[in-house]
Structure 1
């Protein structure tokens, strides 16, 4: 048996003004691996595929893996060049028995509303109807019926935060391997829940729903269950939450199971959507709490959803209130980082920080700061229970102190996954009353064990959750929350 695997991963926020270009992708090719480069962060899925293929004694070929931080619509030539390179490397590796693709599920390029649907269609044309195609997707994906019809197996992360990326990769390659070996015949069905939202899996009733999916897998012919949450800031025709079921050679059962779980999820629609506090209420609650650190997610300026990560609203309010026992991370401002990298710890500077990417970022802040830390090419870790944590680059990073507030500023736009963004600088987070992190939920896994309380805040950034008032170009008014019961229409 021979398997080919590659990846192309980014999430597109069609409402932000800065595009995703070729320079934004971190790309690892087969020749890079041969020269000793290792799979890190999102590309660690390729390591899982490699290890399983080796353990099963399969022949395998790796093409490339490219990933970019979420941003605006991908430049057409960028997408096409990466797609075509994957296809070219696939053609070189053929004949193959299976193709494994690590994709996101919410990539949009100029001329392509659904890049994943497009690339899987091109793969199918090249390999023919008999080769098994398996796809791993982020749960913030747009899943079309065409994608389900074209692929053989789709596995989607179940957890938000995404602490199961590598587990789902193992699920995918196991199912694909069993399909090639004739042990199973996957049949997939998709159910439209007619919802748009953001759902956090550590909290009930989401926790119970995810656990029910796990419990049903491997029983009575059910091979896999996935909930595609959707990515609300990707304006595509098929935006919305979908339930996916895979059964063993039983399409009718797949449709029944997908519908059963999908209807149950729809019944939870008033309870599962993320609730966010205003900036004022979040700080009032945090400062009144009896102990720290209270962790506040600056959810609407999360670069993991394509936001700039240079919003100044939360920091401005901390300063206005005279808060002196707080820290905030990570402000994306490569100009300031470049200036500070030329100084040293202890230097005192006047800086104009943040607020550079547009109205969603607020106005820049003119601050007098002291440099308390400088770390070239800083890393942070994203926990993956049962596996080694994934290491994510932050670029050059600096810690600035202004009136008792520690401000972490970095050069490579990316969200906060770990307390490392503070502790790497020697900041004792246990002594802070308030920690503000630019993330929607991925911070949760590493911060929950150390936080006295966790709050989710809407400080007026780019990722607004009042979905009916987002200026979508496509018509999504047939879904909740535009209407309470779309199935009654």
Structure 2
């Protein structure tokens, strides 16, 4: 059996003023097959899984373009056309194929194209014809469209948030598509719109229970796969919002009944799933004198959702508490990093930190700092993934250790601090720029993790997001937008 794999991933915040370009993909990395399985973070895990499974079955595997960019605003039209053409040229050059496996995000928007993934899948279908099986692995923060489900034979979404199941879902997708290619199964998909817009971490109830229910559903006769679409709230496109996707074996009615069952369960939790954010004064007001540190997530300035990563409200609040040892990071400020590199370790200087990228960055802070650590090539590690962060500096201002970086990225691991020498064990509070991905690694330090409202770019007041293309019949904008799911 001959299998082609490729990937093109970014998550587009249509409200962001940061353009996504080919250079944005090059910063993270554009790879062309055969792929180094140690590269590009999650891409390496997916590639390694597909490669291992193909070898086990004696299949021929052809790897094409893999490109990933940090979330930001829409991709420039010419740049999307360039990457699209290269990916499709790889499909064409591979010749007759039995299976195509695509690793995509699902919320990529380009100028003039609101559904990049649907467009790509349909274009691949036009090349490979109806007999080839097309499988797609998506992020749960996607916009699941009709073009995607009509063009693909199987779509599987990561079910965990934080996303720790890239490889498991890649294996599931491989199995689904290979079984279909051999004629062992006949996958059919059903999608139900849940009319929800929200933020759904899966590490605690009630979302944890809903995710665990997927395994029970997949154990039923005839059900091949079940996925929850969280949706990406900061993408103003027609298909934005939460959905349920079920794949059954040749039985459309079973797929639809099961999807409706899960959609009702999701919808009935809608009030309980509303994010409960704290403000800084409350989060610091009841801090115990000892014990594990308190982890505060600046979700609104999460670059993983397209935010600038240089908002200063949380940092300012920590600095105001002169006796509270804390650590804060990572702040995207390449200019300040360069000033620290020029000054050297041990230097004392006055720096303007953060608040520079645009109107959603807050005010810059003029701080007296001491440079405590430097790196020309800073990294953070998440499991086996080594995430490059560019040149970086650790500075101390008053009681706060601050990590400054040159490559915009959310804080995923304590190693973002400790690889520069920051003594995290001294911190009573650790502030991180992330919505929930930080939880996978930082929860090993402390179970006291809180999401903070700082007024930054990624507002979780979902009812008031300035949608123009996405319809407004959703919860929480409407109390009961889908009575048939109640």
1:324 shift after superposition: 3.5
Q: How does 1:235-314 map to 2 (within 5 A)?
A: 235-285=236-286, 287-288=287-288, 290-314=290-314
Q: How does 1:209-248 map to 2 (within 5 A)?
A: 209-248=210-249
Q: d(CA) in 1 for partners of 2:480 and 2:168?
A: 35
**Cα distance 1:351–1:32, how it changes in 2: closer, same or farther (>3 A)?**
farther
1:291 shift after superposition: 2.9
Report which stretch shifted further, 429-438 or 190-199: 429-438
Aligned to 1:202, the other structure's residue is in SS state coil
Q: Is the 8 A contact 2:310 2:354 kept in 1?
A: yes
Q: Is the 8 A contact 1:323 1:405 kept in 2?
A: no
Q: Deviations over 1:49-81 (max 9, x none)?
A: 222111211011111100000001111111111
Q: Is the 8 A contact 2:292 2:445 kept in 1?
A: no
* Corresponding residue of 1:335: 335
The normalised TM-score by structure 1 is: 0.95
Q: d(CA) in 2 for partners of 1:92 and 1:17?
A: 37
Aligned to 1:254, the other structure's residue is in SS state helix
* Corresponding residue of 1:406: 401
Q: d(CA) in 2 for partners of 1:145 and 1:242?
A: 12
Q: d(CA) in 2 for partners of 1:238 and 1:84?
A: 24
* Corresponding residue of 1:127: 128
Q: d(CA) in 2 for partners of 1:443 and 1:401?
A: 22
1:430 shift after superposition: 2.7
Q: Is the 8 A contact 2:319 2:399 kept in 1?
A: no
1:31 shift after superposition: 5.4
Q: Is the 8 A contact 1:105 1:142 kept in 2?
A: yes
Q: How does 1:193-208 map to 2 (within 5 A)?
A: 193-208=194-209
Q: Is the 8 A contact 2:474 2:481 kept in 1?
A: yes
Q: Stretches of 4+ moved more than 4 A in 1?
A: none
Aligned to 2:370, the other structure's residue is in SS state strand
* Corresponding residue of 1:467: 462
Is 1:437 paired with 2:432? yes
Count of aligned positions: 481
* Corresponding residue of 2:317: 317
Q: Is the 8 A contact 2:194 2:482 kept in 1?
A: no
Report which stretch shifted further, 12-21 or 143-152: 143-152
Q: Deviations over 1:274-300 (max 9, x none)?
A: 221123222324x35653310000110
* Corresponding residue of 2:102: 101
Q: CA RMSD in A?
A: 1.5
1:226 shift after superposition: 0.3
Aligned to 2:342, the other structure's residue is in SS state coil
The normalised TM-score by structure 2 is: 0.96
Q: How does 1:60-71 map to 2 (within 5 A)?
A: 60-71=61-72
Q: Deviations over 1:351-387 (max 9, x none)?
A: 111101222111111111101111221221224xxxx
Q: d(CA) in 2 for partners of 1:215 and 1:431?
A: 44
Q: d(CA) in 1 for partners of 2:264 and 2:231?
A: 16
1:340 shift after superposition: 1.4
